[in-house]
Structure 1
Amino acid sequence: MSQDKRSLILEERAEKLAKSLEEKKPENVADVLKFQLHQEIFAIEIRYVAEVCFLKEFTPLPCTPAFVYGLMNVRRQVFAIIDLAILFGSQKSTSHKPERVIILKGGNHSFAVCTTAILGVESIPFSLIQPPPPTIAESQSVYLKGITTEGVALLDGASLIDSRQLIVDEEIDG
């Protein structure tokens, strides 16, 4: 086989492969990190995820709302740890302790959320995301983009990070 014919065959193969990759890539998808917290499965767009780390040591913070799990130090940066299960109305679980945290960052704000398991990164087509059900309170649904057909709660990273409700800035009289 001549060099010209070989080059022509390779070019044709490359074009076919490039076209098939373009056709398979959906345009309207959310690239998310899926995680579990107790019995619930959540997902958040990876653009809001700074890192995932083990929850080795943390300091409980007295006189804060129940959803504030505590504080942790990661490489000399202190992050508040938020328990999304409590924020969304579940009770604190004593049988499933959080093993890891997901550090979320956006703008000038950052904090960590508890998780009992990291399930992986995947792409979810927006067509599979339904609005939050009407049974979810408005104070909680503001943090949700929707629910997938598989029952995964897709968090609204921007709403979580920019939320004034999650900022604890009160003083107590002592």
Structure 2
Amino acid sequence: MEQDGKNFLSPDRILTEVRKSLKTRNVVDVEEDQVKMVVLAVGGQRYALHGKDVKEILQGREIHPVPFLPTYIPGLVNVRGEIEAAIDLGRLLGSEKRPHPKGLIAMVQKGRFRAAMLVDEVVDVVDIPLTRVGPPLSSLSGVLRELVSGTVEFSGEALALLDVEKLVARVTP
């Protein structure tokens, strides 16, 4: 259409052109905020911990038994001259008792609390977008329900995100 010798676009034509333009635009993903997670295997299950709470991974530490401790604390370990409580995460979560003469340890720290968590394997350390951290699954039960603060998607699997602060509250008087 022309009006007074100039090209004239109706509002409908303008909207149509804008819609076409929006459909053909390349959408560029903005980098999402990420959080570092440590994926652990314990008792045949995988769990995640916030990377900021895991200070180091150690191998081959002897566990020195101490009588009258809860079953999920098989004893103490010496970490470069510091004596730390060894927490059997599998036992705490309800797995059967297993021997731990020397095991893989994830040293966790939250505030002044520091402990050696016995784990079967460190599966991976990954950066996960915050949008992939969800609420805890409603199907969780028992101690696991008390210790989980969320769910993390990892390799197509929903992992329970263990909360070290809740763990501290559970294992300290």
More strand by share: 2
Query: TM > 0.5 between the two?
Result: yes
> Based on CA coordinates, which of the two structures has the bigger radius of gyration?
2
Cross-structure match for 2:60: 55
Identity %: 24
* CA RMSD, 1 decimal: 2.5
Task: Return the TM-score normalized by structure 2.
Answer: 0.71
Matches within 5 A, 1:1-174: 23=29, 25-27=31-33, 29-93=34-98, 99-137=103-141, 139-149=143-153, 150-161=157-168, 163=169, 165-167=170-172
Q: How many angstroms apart in 1 are the aligned matches of 2:41 and 2:165?
A: 20
Deviation at 1:160, TM superposition (A): 1.9
Is contact 2:49-2:162 (8 Å) kept? Answer: yes
Q: Which amino acid aligns with 1:31?
A: K
Is contact 1:33-1:44 (8 Å) kept? Answer: yes
Q: How many angstroms apart in 2 are the aligned matches of 1:52 and 1:155?
A: 17
Q: How many angstroms apart in 2 are the aligned matches of 1:78 and 1:67?
A: 17
SS at match of 1:152: strand
- Note the alpha carbon deviations across 1:92-143, whole angstroms, 9 max, x for none: 235x876310111121111011111111210223433443334433543221
Task: Return the TM-score normalized by structure 1.
Answer: 0.70
Q: How many angstroms apart in 2 are the aligned matches of 1:98 and 1:56?
A: 5
Moved over 6 A (4+): none
Q: How many angstroms apart in 1 are the aligned matches of 2:126 and 2:90?
A: 22
Q: Which amino acid aligns with 2:166?
A: S
Which segments of 5 or more consecutive residues in structure 1 lack a partner in the other structure? 1-21, 170-174
How many corresponding residue pairs?
A: 143
